Chains A and B, each alone.
Chain A
Amino acid sequence: MQKDSAIEIKGLVKEYRLGQIDSGTLRGDLQSFFARLFKKDDPNIPLLNDQYYSIKNKTHRAIDGVDLTIKKGEAVGLIGINGAGKSTLLKLISRITLPTEGEISYRGRVTSLLEVGTGFSAELTGRENIYMNGAILGMSKEEITSKMDKIIEFSEIGEYIDTPVKRYSSGMYVKLAFAVAAHLDSEILLLDEILAVGDVKFQEKSLKRMDEAANQENKTVIYVSHNMATIRKFCKRCIVLDAGKIIYDGDVESAIEVYTEHKKKEHSADNDLSKLTHRFCPNELVRQVSLTRFKLENCEDCVVNDRKSFSFSVYCNSKKYIENAYFLATFADTANQAVATSFSEAINIKQGENKFSFTLDLSPLKVGTYSINGALVEKSSFDIFSNYDYVEQMCYIDIPQEKEGDFLWSKRYWGVVRLDNLKLGGGNND
């Protein structure tokens, strides 16, 4: 390791196996084992789940060959769209999970705040938890005792420090967690969106504290965030990750530019689907019909301003003539959880290139970012659908906040779909 570097990463790879690894119970595994032994159907393979076959035994590289050197005392921002591998990288550096290939070396101790309040025990008091957190980092009791007053003062917990943390409000909880991490004597600090805790005043204080840590105490800080403002304020160097690789490493402004450009590409209104692999059957040769292109019609930057007439076109390529197929557009939230689906009427697909344009009244769907999953299906026997093709995340759309009658929509309390209005009647009204 070089004298002035805090972290050195060489050829780092982290691979995850996709699909269900096993049934998770001994009984299930034995069942599968005997089924294989007697050449019967494995009872634990999910029915009707064609994806199972296509992703089984596949691996996904969350980190795909990262080389990185961070100097002592640097505050480095780490940005990238969801799934780029930021959190995995932090997990690897903090030794929560081991790499598949490659090597990480670092000087000194690492504190990670991947999620606030980890290692906190509900039954213990705030003070006891400070000791616990410090001990997890490998600090001795004396070292923690010498920092105690500073931590308590910073956390603004005051007299409640000797109360079990289970009685704390969530605000107090995160403040204490942050105070502990910020004052621990570690040489390297890993932060994941942490500064978004507490009230605005506390956030400012946290930022200042981080700045002190990096610039005065010569700590090395890696900071993961989606918030460009804090990255700008706080970091001198910024790394952009995409699909497990570093695509930019350098000054903050250029990094943010690269990131926004990249994000825009992801949020294109016109998407080539042929390269997407999250689909029914990744092997093109096997598919009868392939969805090839998805295009939003009257959207600017994927923002749906006119929800009443949301329109798009779907292109597909078919090897044969198909009657009575259906196109399904499923809207999923940012966690890829399906929230709503719209069916087309029965369509006929001719051999070769096809283009279908649809319009949809999207007004029930409320504010947020959604991905559209598309499927071409037929109705098979027993009224069960079967896929011709299915593509996840064909396109992203943003639905802006709009006034609903007299209210602004509150996602937190009401969800993301507005059902038809309640009508009086049906029972006895006074």
Chain B
Amino acid sequence: MTDYNEIITTVTPKKKLFDLNLKETFKYKDLISLLVTRTFKARYKQMLLGPIWAVIQPLLTTIVFTVVFGKIANLPTDGAPQFMFYMCGNVLWSYFSTCLNGGANVFTENAYVFSKVYFPRLVSPIANALGNMINFVIQSVIFFGFLAFYVINGTITPTYYLIPLSLLLVLEVTLLSMGIGTLLASLTVKYRDLKMLIAFGIQLWLYATPIAYSSVLVKEKMPQLYNLYMLNPMAPVVEAMRKIYLGVGNINYKYLLISAAVSVAFALIGTAVFNRTEKTFADKI
């Protein structure tokens, strides 16, 4: 057993910009896992359908998208089956948006606990991301189930050799959503009205991302805006995901690199601002 009497902690006012204290955060791994389970329990307890919600939500959205954008509006889907085309985008988008939204609420939701007990605050956004990642994995399994059906059927041919890249893309989405999330979380401590803006902003962002339509449409109808459009870091990621798993469209590596750089930048800025906010949080809330 560790002799805790040997561990000396020193508290000083100074704090470096990127003093993440990862070692200490890692010591709290049990807390992270408990927080993740707590989120699940709190989310699905006393609910009729419980964890099935994690599955129903993207499934229903996909069905609605298929009917509205596919059947009624008759938007082209680059030759992929409409259902799979929308599901691929929806699963990724729902991971991104829940992760961002949860991250943005870290401070306001934990205000009481943060002002009463100490633990490395980074634990909370990490637990949030992990919790949403579990949801994402469940949804991905459903997606792969449907995918298998279409692949065996012969209607879809995934780009197999690119599948490892998709893991990197998921990592990128995680970094991006956590970065923006923690940045917004720090800002909402000061500006409470940002909270309204976040939900609204995510909704607008959805329309600026090729979830409900293909980016080919943007290229055709508004070529002058296409370059600007692809600077949305989520746009090339969604495109690439569709290329990898559905074998349609193409990967624009230039924009994918830009988007990766933007994501890393957001992750760094988010952590730095989070660190600064954490310091004075208890005095402000």
Contacts and interface: CB of A to CB of B under 8 A. Distances in A.
Interface of A: 1, 16, 21-22, 24-27, 29, 72, 91-110, 112, 114-115, 118-119, 121, 123-124, 128, 131-132, 135-141, 185, 187
Nearest to B110: A119
B219 interface: no
Contacts of A29: 191
B64 to A, nearest CB: 31
- In this complex, which of A22, A24, A135, A137 has the most chain B Cβ atoms within 10 angstroms of its Cβ? A135
Given A94-B118, A124-B41, A138-B28, A99 B12 contact: yes
A24 B190 contact: yes
Given A118-B113, A121-B42, A138-B27, A103 B11 contact: yes
Contacts of A124: 38, 41-42
A104 B191 contact: no
Nearest to B278: A98
Contact of A121 (B11, B28, B38, B282): B38
Nearest to B189: A24
A98 B279 contact: yes
Nearest to B197: A26
Contacts of A185: 4
Nearest to B9: A106
B30 A97 contact: no
6 contacts: A22-B190, A24-B192, A107-B4, A107-B6, A121-B42, A132-B38
Contacts of B190: 22, 24
Given A103-B11, A104-B10, A107-B7, A91 B28 contact: no
Nearest to A114: B116
Nearest to B32: A135
Contacts of B13: 98-102
A231 B213 CA distance: 70
Interface residues of B, number: 38
Contact of B15 (A25, A98, A107, A110): A98
A108 B7 CA distance: 5
A138 B123 CA distance: 11
A1 B7 CA distance: 11
B38 A115 contact: no
Given A25-B191, A123-B38, 9 more contacts: A95-B11, A96-B116, A103-B11, A104-B11, A106-B8, A118-B112, A121-B38, A135-B34, A136-B31
Given A101-B13, A141-B30, A26 B194 contact: yes
B182 to A, nearest CB: 18
A109 B12 contact: no
Contacts of A115: 116
Contact of B117 (A96, A100, A101, A106): A96
A261 to B, nearest CB: 32
B31 A107 contact: no
B119 interface: yes
Nearest to B11: A104
B191 A26 contact: yes
Contact of A16 (B28, B38, B283): B283
B280 interface: yes
- In this complex, which of B28, B30, B45, B112 has the most chain A Cβ atoms within 10 angstroms of its Cβ? B30
Interface in B95-112: 112
Interface string B163-197: 00000000000000000000000000011111000
A27 B194 CA distance: 9
